[in-house]
Amino acid sequence: MPELPEVEVVRRGLVRWVRGRTITSVDVLDPRSIRRHALGTQDFVGNLEGATVADVVRRGKFLWMPLLDTTHGAAAPPPVALMAHLGMSGQLLMQDTNAPDEKHLKVRLRLSPGDGMPEQLRFVDQRIFGGLFVTDMVPTDDGGPGGLAESPLPLIAEEASHIARDPLDPAFSFENFFSRLRKRKTGLKRALLDQGLVSGIGNIYADEALWRAKLHYAKPTDKLRRADAAGLVDCAREVMLDALAAGGTSFDSLYVNVNGASGYFDRSLNAYGREGQPCGRCAAVGINSPIRREQFMNRSSYTCPVCQPRPRNGRW
């Protein structure tokens, strides 16, 4: 379930293995994994073969590799990037040629030789919600992709240009977020999950951030107090930094593994997936308050009924 921390773990792991290497050949084993590439498999492969990976960059949960077209010279326009979205179950793995194909191997990229580096970058995806595609790079007026990558180009992958900055991005602006949030007439969790307002937060970390901030998911955004919004952003940032720290332990593996944060999921969730189990914060002061699960936005939301009370004036 990759959200921002998992994608950032993948980006950090990937960059050291692929930056500066040239894609020599591409196997598309399941065209469904490149269905967002509108021009089809042949065009996808043609765009990649002979191109050199300049960097690995992230905006929210979108991850892309700006490409240098070595067959036409580095300056040949228009600039493009190989985009990856992990969806639900996507993985990017560095593998040696003799490693057996993974059960859900979808796309194989062979790379030019690197010093002691695996020859292949593989996209593995069980549920096929994720995928790869080639996208144009377009100018951006907000200073580049950001994320935690150092980004030399004032360009952003077109398919990620509608995505807002995430709370860990040094260029994230709370004032900008807060003013846009207040103009929305919706509930807090719906806003948190809107990648155009603030990015990187999925269902799990939304529930965790709301729990930490002691806020209910349906609290109206248009009257939210500044202090509550600031607290919520701080909590989202803390949750993601904790998960990032947990995932960071697998950095020197050859495998760029989205399950790197599984230890975090096992140990550290306070609300998500804990239906019926006591709220730890309430238990610490002697209150037994089982976590409640509700359907919201066609998915589960987990809250503590005591420390995350429903808004009294909310519309129900």
Partner DNA sequence: AACGCGACCTGCGAGC
Partner DNA sequence: TGCTCGCAGGTCGCGT
Q: Which is nearer to DNA, 70 or 126 (CB)?
A: 126
Q: Which is nearer to DNA, 46 or 87 (CB)?
A: 87
Tell me how crowded residue 74 is: count the other CB atoms within 10 A of its CB.
10
Q: Which is nearer to DNA, 144 or 202 (CB)?
A: 202
Contact 27, 42 (CB under 8 A): no
Q: How far is the CB of 142 from DNA (least distance, A)?
A: 18
Tell me, yes or no, if 158 is annotated catalytic: no
Helix (H/G/I), strand (E/B), else coil: 85? strand
Residues forming contacts to DNA in the complex (CB under 7 A) are 1-3, 32, 35, 60-62, 85, 87-89, 103-104, 126-129, 159, 162, 183-187, 190, 193, 195, 202-204, 272-273, 297-300
Contact 119, 96 (CB under 8 A): yes
CA 254 – CA 286 distance, rounded (Å): 46
Tell me, yes or no, if 3 is annotated catalytic: yes
Q: How far is the CB of 301 from DNA (least distance, A)?
A: 9
Task: Exactly one of 11, 12, 59, 61 is catalytic; name it.
Answer: 61
Task: Exactly one of 35, 299, 309, 310 is catalytic; name it.
Answer: 299
Say how many CA atoms lie within 13 Å of 291 toward its Cβ: 22
Q: How far is the CB of 129 from DNA (least distance, A)?
A: 5
Contact 153, 136 (CB under 8 A): no
Helix (H/G/I), strand (E/B), else coil: 37? coil
Structure tokens at 216: 């209910």
Q: How far is the CB of 24 from DNA (least distance, A)?
A: 28
Tell me, yes or no, if 106 is annotated catalytic: no
Q: Which is nearer to DNA, 262 or 300 (CB)?
A: 300
Backbone angles phi, psi at 45, to 5 degrees: -65, -40
Tell me, yes or no, if 275 is annotated catalytic: no
**Active site residues per annotation:** 2-3, 61, 299
